[in-house]
Amino acid sequence: MLNEVDLSRADLNLLVIFEAVMRERNVGRAAARLNLTASAVSHGLGRLRRLLNDPLFLRTPKGVVPTDRAEELAVPIADILARIRGVVAMAEPFDPKTSTRRFIIGAPDGIAAVLARKVLEGIERAGPGVGIGLRQLMVGRSRLYDRVWDDLLQPLETREIDLAILPLKEVPARFAARVLYREDFVAVFREGHPFAAEPSLDHYCRLRHLLVSETADFFGFADDMLERLGRRREIAVTVPNFMIGLAVLAETDLIGAMPRHLAAIQCARFALVTAELPLPVEPWDICLVVPRSALMDAGTAWLYDAVFTSFRAAADADASASAPRD
């Protein structure tokens, strides 16, 4: 029979210290986050190292890096702490009308710009004291169809962000998800651009293109589609986000592929126009995602519902306003 682990030697605060150091990668910053001294954090890490029989974090000139064992422990420890926080939160019911809690929502900028217009006003009405921080999430490369967005679920599991809004084809079972809308891409270019008169694939391939790529990778989803057709295009410029891309397109003869919903909101202010891409681009779901364990926290559960409800209400209002009148 296996010996039971002696939990009398364990201290929940050690897990909180582990989480802070894992997030900050720096003992001093972790101490500041926890309102402790650096000495207290270092002492706590020493106790945790002895308890788990692993160095956990190795010093470097710029801070600390986690060991393989620490990386393995990060997700289960985050889950344990989330469950405990949920239990504590249930003892003090969350009231959005009086709460001053701060939440962080992660999304790519092409989604965040759509989210900000349709959601933030609704959340402010429901929770006037609640603060919302938008954190940009971007992949390290530009191929949307290789499940690369799945990597961005990690900040949810480590509780760096409260919710994520991402284009996902599949959502792992440990997450709850709701589809906000369907998205695809359109061609975007300045008014008077010659592509408007001849929006063909041949013309598209002859043009010089702008690509949104945080890492300046010169290969995007459209290049993947073109490759399958035996075609290619010339990428002349890469930019790190869609809003910069819109500004550059407004001042050049470049053409870019942009999310349809973002283009509908932003193109008019940049004097840009759109056309359908001459490519077989499959639309995908934009999903609101949260760890199921985090929904035990009444505040996170409220935010999850509030974002979805606000977005759908704004989308319905937009649809009604654009519907033809008799």
Per residue in 266-281, pLDDT tens? 999 999 999 999 998 8
What distances in angstroms separate CA 232 from CA 95, 146, 240, 281, 321, one per listed residue?
55, 19, 22, 15, 40
Around Cβ 285, how many Cβ atoms within 10 Å?
17
How far is residue 299's CA from residue 86's CA, in Å, rounded to a whole number?
9
Domain 102-174+290-317 architecture: 3-Layer(aba) Sandwich (3.40)
Residues 6+ apart with CB under 8 A from 234: 207, 208, 209
Domain 8-91 architecture: Orthogonal Bundle (1.10)
**Max Cα–Cα distance, the chain, nearest Å:** 79
Q: Where in the chain is the domain with CATH 3.40.190.10?
A: 102-174+290-317, 185-276
pLDDT in tens, 61-70: 888 999 999 9
pLDDT in tens, 101-147: 889 999 988 888 888 877 888 898 999 999 898 888 876 544 444 45
How far is residue 306's CA from residue 124's CA, in Å, rounded to a whole number?
10
Q: Is the pTM of this model over 0.95?
A: no
Query: 185-276: what CATH class?
Result: alpha beta
Q: What would the two tokens of residue 257 be?
A: 């592929």
Residue 68 confidence (pLDDT): 93
Residue 168 confidence (pLDDT): 84
Looking at residue 220, the DSSP 8-state letter turns out to be B
How far is residue 241's CA from residue 259's CA, in Å, rounded to a whole number?
12
For the chain, what is the mean pLDDT?
A: 86
Say if residue 7's pLDDT is above 90: no
SS3 137: coil
Q: What would the two tokens of residue 51 be?
A: 């308890």
Q: Where in the chain is the domain with CATH 1.10.10.10?
A: 8-91
* Size of the chain, expressed as the number of residues it contains: 326
Beta carbons of 266 and 113 less than 8 angstroms apart: yes
How far is residue 32's CA from residue 260's CA, in Å, rounded to a whole number?
42
